[in-house]
Structure 1
Amino acid sequence: MKFHMKTVSSALLACALIPASQGLMAQDKELVIGTNNWAENIAVANMWKILLEDEYGYDIELSNVSKNALYAAMSQGDIDISMEIWLPVTDKPFLEPYKDELQVHDAWYEGTGLGLVVPSYVEIDTIPELKENADQYEYQGSPSILGIDSGSAIAGLTDDAIEQYALPLSQVNSSGPAMMAALDGAYVNEEPIVVTLWSPHWAFAEYDLKYLEDPKGVYGVNETIYWFSRGDFSNDDPWLTEVLNAWKMDDDTLGGLMATIEEVGDPEEGAQQWIDNHRDIIDKWLAAGDKTN
């Protein structure tokens, strides 16, 4: 086969203009990311899918499975990475059977929260104060705590809180969107309301909220979110390992990402919009991979 020197020279010039880190990653690389239906999990998984596919030539599959299935599949090599493991308490039982086959990497979010939340404009600051001010927190004619589905962990903890603090309020269980709609309506009118919430959640980027102090520790302690992988992943992809280890988010950045997705109504479109508006943050994460080249 004959090649024209001009064609070859042009091709070489084009390759020379590609940054070294991106050039090394430009080859197709398949990656399965395990996900679940938590809002923050869907948000960050779609963010990384867009970044790695559009800018570094990866072929990403998002595999939405239950937690038990995720850990088992990753231990067998069918899932490469997952963006979210809560430690030291929440996800320890899922990790324990596979701790020799899986690797927990660096933290990307510190200080998770779980508990009863009120708008910052209300005057109470602790759960015991709800007992004295229950009449202010009426919902449909009865003092109430608005929660999510009755089978959730936070719903069970809220039942415990009502019992341990002897609160004269009932928990009203519904869907997450219904709870958030009630919060939005009360917030707009600056009315008292108490809901069950957790961090990270997009609500903290949209509203000025506060956790009620929990002196009995019913809702437990704050935890840390890490990313994790099959055991040999860091050897197979040292570049992405360094990049994900450099990845850090807080209530403002993660809450903003989730709020954008909520507003747009589509995880990929919302993540893309957030990426376009936060290149300075993202470029710092990506630059961490340069030292592996």
Structure 2
Amino acid sequence: MNKMSSSVLMVGLLAAVTGVQADDHKSLVIGTNNWAENIAVANMWKIILEEEHGYDIELSDVSKSVLYSGLANEDIDLSMEIWLPTTDASFLEPHKDEIDVHDVWYEGTGLGLVVPSYVDIDTIPEIGENADAYEYQGRPTILGIDSGSAIAGSTDDAIDVYELPFNQINSSGPAMMAALDDAYQREEPIVVTLWSPHWAFAEYDLKYLEDPKGVYGESDDIHWMSRKDFGDDDPWLTSVLNDWHMDDDSLGGLMAEIEQTGDPVEGAQTWIDENRDLIDEWLAAGDEE
């Protein structure tokens, strides 16, 4: 075989190998929303899957309604967070036949109105009796996150059910936390909407206000979810994510690392480097497929 033929053959072989690699390359869209734990775990999985398993991951930050319709329409492949059986049930219901809900990765959430522990009240009715102490921009206010979130809707219900003379101001999670931090540093009363898991409970001394009428519902578990038949398309990743579990220590540590660095990528990478044994346990489930 002459040199020209050898060169042509080598180019052909390289092209074939490259073609196989391209076919094996998995591109996924992970739908996210602006909850602290959602940002944390989405960036964690993006790093693990891209750096260690050759995936190409796009994180798509969307509203709750767009997230569920995107999964149903297969514009989004998966999302790391759905709270069931209560909080996110209304978002899932219109699309329940087009979305696959997978295993639980965090058990025992919390959700409700939260105040600093130095505030001398313990129940939701009591904030109504002390409304003047919680003025923000001239009127009694509950500071919340985006208006399309489940917790925002529950808070509107709480204002009605408890007949609270309050207004809910909806903004982003970071903006709400900035207001909480400012009030906390000055030891002033403030009431915000919060949930567990959240890094705020490690950073500040906070308490949930008792909800005697059960407006915020019972404790939920957090599952991951995907477009229909994702499990058949990617059984390895489905097995890995079904074996993924986090508790307050592991998830709280991940969120705290991100909060301290101020960068979800840098913080998630640091946490990954320090928790290899745990991550390897999750990944081992896929190797058993």
TM-score by length of 2: 0.77
- Residue identity in the other structure for 2:27: L
Question: 2:28 is matched with which residue: 10, 26, 32?
Answer: 32
Structure 1 residues 140 and 237: CA distance shift in structure 2, 3 A: closer
What fraction of aligned residue pairs are identical, expressed as a percent? 73
Structure 1 residues 286 and 205: CA distance shift in structure 2, 3 A: farther
Encode CA deviations 1:1-33: one digit per residue, 9 max, x unaligned: 9xxxxxxxxxxxxxxxxxxxxxxxxx9531313
Encode CA deviations 1:151-206: one digit per residue, 9 max, x unaligned: 65534433432343244555455543333222112323444322122233332232
CA contact (8 A) 2:28 2:55 kept: no
Question: 2:267 is matched with which residue: 266, 270, 273?
Answer: 270
- Residue identity in the other structure for 2:199: W
CA contact (8 A) 1:28 1:59 kept: no
Gaps of 5+ in 1: 2-26
Partner of 1:230: 227
Residue 213 (structure 1) shift: 0.8
Question: 2:84 is matched with which residue: 78, 84, 87?
Answer: 87
| Aligned partner of residue 288 in structure 2, secondary structure | helix
Structure 1 residues 281 and 163: CA distance shift in structure 2, 3 A: same
| Greater mean alpha carbon deviation, residues 175-184 or residues 144-153 | 144-153
| Greater mean alpha carbon deviation, residues 128-137 or residues 210-219 | 128-137
Structure 1 residues 59 and 139: CA distance shift in structure 2, 3 A: closer
Structure 1 residues 53 and 218: CA distance shift in structure 2, 3 A: same
Structure 1 residues 285 and 165: CA distance shift in structure 2, 3 A: same
| Aligned partner of residue 118 in structure 1, secondary structure | strand
- Residue 242, structure 1, aligned to residue 233, structure 2: no
**Structure 2: distance between partners of 1:68 and 1:246:** 27
Question: 1:195 is matched with which residue: 186, 192, 199?
Answer: 192
Give the length in aligned residue pairs.
268
Residue 145 (structure 1) shift: 3.0
Encode CA deviations 1:56-87: one digit per residue, 9 max, x unaligned: 22222334445455445544555432212222
| Aligned partner of residue 235 in structure 1, secondary structure | helix
**Structure 2: distance between partners of 1:94 and 1:240:** 25
Structure 1 residues 185 and 252: CA distance shift in structure 2, 3 A: farther
**Structure 2: distance between partners of 1:79 and 1:170:** 35
CA contact (8 A) 2:31 2:78 kept: no
Question: Where has structure 1 moved over 6 Å in runs of 4 or more?
Answer: none
CA contact (8 A) 2:146 2:173 kept: yes
- Residue identity in the other structure for 2:31: T
Gaps of 5+ in 2: 2-22
Encode CA deviations 1:89-115: one digit per residue, 9 max, x unaligned: 343344345434432110112233321
**RMSD after superposition:** 3.1
**Structure 2: distance between partners of 1:78 and 1:170:** 36
